[in-house]
Structure 1
Amino acid sequence: MRFKPDSSMPTPRLRVGIILAGNFTLSAFSLFVDHLRLAADKDDNSRPILCQWTIMNSRSEPVRSSCDIPISRHSDFRNPAEFDCIVVVGGLLHGRRQVDDTTLDYLRRAASVGVSLIGICTGVFVLSRAKVMQDRASCVSWYHRQDFVEEFPEQEVVSDRMYLVDRDRITCSGGGGAADMALHLIEQYLGRQVAKKASHVLLLDRPAKSNTPLLQPYPPLIDEINHITDSRIRRAVLEMEQNMNEPIPISRLALYLGISSRQLERLFHTTLGMKPSDFYRLIRLRYARSMLQQGELSVTEIAVETGFSDCAHFSRHFKAMFGQSPSEVRAAKRQGRDGDMPVMPHRSLMERVGVRLFEEL
């Protein structure tokens, strides 16, 4: 049963309306709303005193998450002016209608009266379809970036941050980003101490410098090749990025794109100047370097995570690509002298390394 505050309670300082899209991501929703719950009351009583949340939907039946767990609404759509912000939690995309036209109309009405709108995970797709993201940048997970670019080619998109604030719009990459974005929202309305209390109870404390945007753990390579217009190349790169710990055969990648392996080889050679297998190894090494700088896994664990057969094999290819061994990169990071290394090696380096760098695994 939902707790109903009595008249003696103060008016909440943060009032949040929540819209769940069909097949929404349960983890993103729960991380967000649990931060609100813990920030709303002292101790762990969960009373909506400091902030209040209302799950709304145009239909009375529960909305099913992508893991098939249903969530019931609290109410039909209420006057948007009753809320400080309205949040859309998205999830699965392909071949599915996320929300109905009534929901899109409601979001447009909320925007027209100046209510802040938030898109979590693919909720940003819903906001964009409602046409309430004009002249604003959107934060999208690298996993869904290409889908977003193809559907909204005129909109500015970033995929290197956990969330992005652009005036009265906040967009969030999803996953753990929902927690970071919730903390930002709570801090803005209820103060830093309240926000820290919520993250502390959830064991999600992490050091972060103020005014420094939290970054997604793995920056996508697609930013480095944004000049490429061939959709097959872009789809191939995205598929590679999504399968790095167990690299898929190039023949299977070609089948996925509906072309032959020979055609795929020609496309990559013409567009990027290298074979698909060479490029695949390059992005896996970039991923490895990102994990080395995070410092959470051992070199051996990173070698396995990026699909190399053994640590020695991984270290040899890594040093040939970046001019430093994995251990040297980690040591430099610990000493605070990692500096700025380009995410794509210069062409001269790749030419100097030669074909031995790209021998088959």
Structure 2
Amino acid sequence: MSATTTVSPLHKREPLAVGFVLLHRFTLLPFAAFLDCLRLAADEGDRSRQVRCHWTFMASAGHEVLSSCGAAISPCLPFQDPGAFDYIVVVGGVQDDHDRMDTRAHAYLRQAEEAGVPLVGLCTGVFALIQAGLMKERRCCVSWYHHRDMIQRFPTIQPVADRLFIDDGNRLTCAGGAAAADLAAYLIERHLGKAWAMKSLNIMLLDEARAGTHPQPQPVVFGKIEDRVVRRAIAVLEQHLGEAIAMDALSERVGTSRRNLERRFREILGVGPQKFARDLRLRYGLWLLHYTGKSITEIGERCGFADTAHFSRHFRSAFGATPSEMRKRASEPGSDRVDPFFLHIDGRPTL
């Protein structure tokens, strides 16, 4: 076929249909980022007609839904036939009320799964997929901010928090925030072609779509680190505070050799990755001592140490006091609270 007669994806493919399941106090940014990417790909210019993309807002009671910031989406329909959609996207709410469960929404998500419709969890929407029993033996992407909450609430789930989104076939999970636009662009490119995905991103003032494997921005622990390999390694270590990761496994995870990883850590941070990882786990232990009522034995286990004696020995070496002494000091009136994940000394992990 000549270049002048090539049929564009627009003429070959059906419109992309997406159903949104909005949970109580859903997070607005990931919803808006995903939706606007669809809206801008749906029509010429910025006219917002649902031509190439269709979307439907749904809620359990079929009425307006309040977002986490107080803005409401209205109107919302009752749950529709899931077979009418290419994807069903569930947008989760804030996690301050763990006991609140939308059982109607969970039942609808299971109905969609039985109908073979791919399910997308945006931000904390993945929590709803887990509660509905739809993430067994599935990879699961979650924001670094919610990582610890997830492993505490769902210990059998293995969340990934060092990338933007994961496409696991008919389950797609996204860390949320601006990454929702990247996931939407990914799906638009799949169904309509790259030109329509880029059109949306350009109007949204985004240069290009980031791949799902693109690392999440992580909380700065020891100041700004420019080296991408070291920064990615720290991101992995931050998400595995409960275990001692073998250096060979860590170097493989970040795509370099163990020797190169150790060299970069020493050049940039002044310590090797193994000591850095242990110091980071000790900081986690310090945080747990200050902010939880867990026993020292439990804290040692949570921080990946083989036994209490091992934990206490390294803790005293790092902080100049045993865990018991530190806890007693923290409980004294007027004692300063600490947030060890945001402490830094000249950009180096000196404890």
Aligned twin of 1:217: 217
| CA distance in structure 1 between the aligned counterparts of 2:89 and 2:316, rounded to whole angstroms | 40
Kindly provide the CA deviation profile for residues 4-57 of structure 1, in whole angstroms up to 9, marking residues without a partner as x.
xxxxxx995210000111111111111110101001001110101000100001
* 1:265 Cα deviation from its structure 2 partner: 9.7
Aligned pair 1:254/2:289, yes or no? yes
Kindly provide the CA deviation profile for residues 291-333 of structure 1, in whole angstroms up to 9, marking residues without a partner as x.
xxxxxxxxxxxxxx9554xxxx515xx3xx6xxxxxxxxxxxx
Q: Give the secondary structure class of the aligned counterpart of 1:47.
A: coil
| CA distance in structure 1 between the aligned counterparts of 2:119 and 2:288, rounded to whole angstroms | 38
- Of the three residues 311, 326, 344, the one matched with 1:271 is 311
| CA distance in structure 2 between the aligned counterparts of 1:167 and 1:154, rounded to whole angstroms | 20
- Of the three residues 289, 314, 326, the one matched with 2:346 is 314
* 1:134 Cα deviation from its structure 2 partner: 2.2
- Identity of aligned pairs, percent? 38
- Correspondences of 1:346-361 after superposition (within 5 Å): 357-358=350-351
Aligned twin of 1:340: none
CA contact (8 A) 2:34 2:184 kept: yes
Relative to structure 2, which stretch is displaced further, 252-261 or 79-88? Answer: 252-261
Q: What code does the residue aligned with 2:54 have?
A: Q
* 1:172 Cα deviation from its structure 2 partner: 0.3
Aligned twin of 2:179: 177
Q: What code does the residue aligned with 1:71 have?
A: I
Aligned twin of 1:35: 37
Structure 1 stretches lacking a partner, 5+ long? 1-9, 229-236, 242-249, 280-304, 322-356
| CA distance in structure 2 between the aligned counterparts of 1:156 and 1:50, rounded to whole angstroms | 36
* 1:90 Cα deviation from its structure 2 partner: 0.9
CA contact (8 A) 1:12 1:48 kept: no
- Of the three residues 154, 158, 161, the one matched with 2:160 is 158
Relative to structure 2, which stretch is displaced further, 96-105 or 193-202? Answer: 96-105
| CA distance in structure 2 between the aligned counterparts of 1:142 and 1:272, rounded to whole angstroms | 27
CA contact (8 A) 2:147 2:239 kept: no
Q: What code does the residue aligned with 2:293 have?
A: G
Change (3 A) 1:257 1:186: same
CA contact (8 A) 1:61 1:72 kept: yes
CA RMSD of aligned residues (A): 3.5
Q: Give the secondary structure class of the aligned counterpart of 1:105.
A: helix
Aligned twin of 2:53: 51
| CA distance in structure 2 between the aligned counterparts of 1:66 and 1:277, rounded to whole angstroms | 44
Kindly provide the CA deviation profile for residues 161-180 of structure 1, in whole angstroms up to 9, marking residues without a partner as x.
10000011100011121111
| CA distance in structure 2 between the aligned counterparts of 1:259 and 1:165, rounded to whole angstroms | 36
Q: What code does the residue aligned with 1:13 have?
A: P
| CA distance in structure 2 between the aligned counterparts of 1:264 and 1:81, rounded to whole angstroms | 48
Q: TM-score, normalised by structure 1?
A: 0.64
Q: What code does the residue aligned with 2:113 have?
A: A
Relative to structure 2, which stretch is displaced further, 130-139 or 96-105? Answer: 96-105
Aligned twin of 2:232: none
Q: What code does the residue aligned with 2:204 have?
A: L
Aligned pair 1:81/2:83, yes or no? yes
CA contact (8 A) 2:41 2:52 kept: yes
Aligned twin of 1:22: 24
Asked which structure has the greater RCO (Cα within 8 Å, sep 6+), the reply is 2
Q: Give the secondary structure class of the aligned counterpart of 2:289.
A: helix
Aligned twin of 1:347: none
CA contact (8 A) 1:88 1:123 kept: yes
Change (3 A) 1:256 1:58: same
Change (3 A) 1:169 1:276: farther
Change (3 A) 1:258 1:97: closer
Structure 2 stretches lacking a partner, 5+ long? 1-11, 219-234, 245-279, 320-340
Kindly provide the CA deviation profile for residues 193-226 of structure 1, in whole angstroms up to 9, marking residues without a partner as x.
1000100000111475x7x722112225344433
| CA distance in structure 1 between the aligned counterparts of 2:122 and 2:300, rounded to whole angstroms | 37
Q: What code does the residue aligned with 2:56 have?
A: T
| CA distance in structure 2 between the aligned counterparts of 1:171 and 1:272, rounded to whole angstroms | 38
| CA distance in structure 2 between the aligned counterparts of 1:277 and 1:45, rounded to whole angstroms | 64
Aligned twin of 2:196: 194
CA contact (8 A) 2:300 2:311 kept: no
Q: How many residues align?
A: 263
- Correspondences of 1:139-154 after superposition (within 5 Å): 139-154=141-156
| CA distance in structure 1 between the aligned counterparts of 2:88 and 2:78, rounded to whole angstroms | 14
Q: What code does the residue aligned with 2:144 have?
A: W
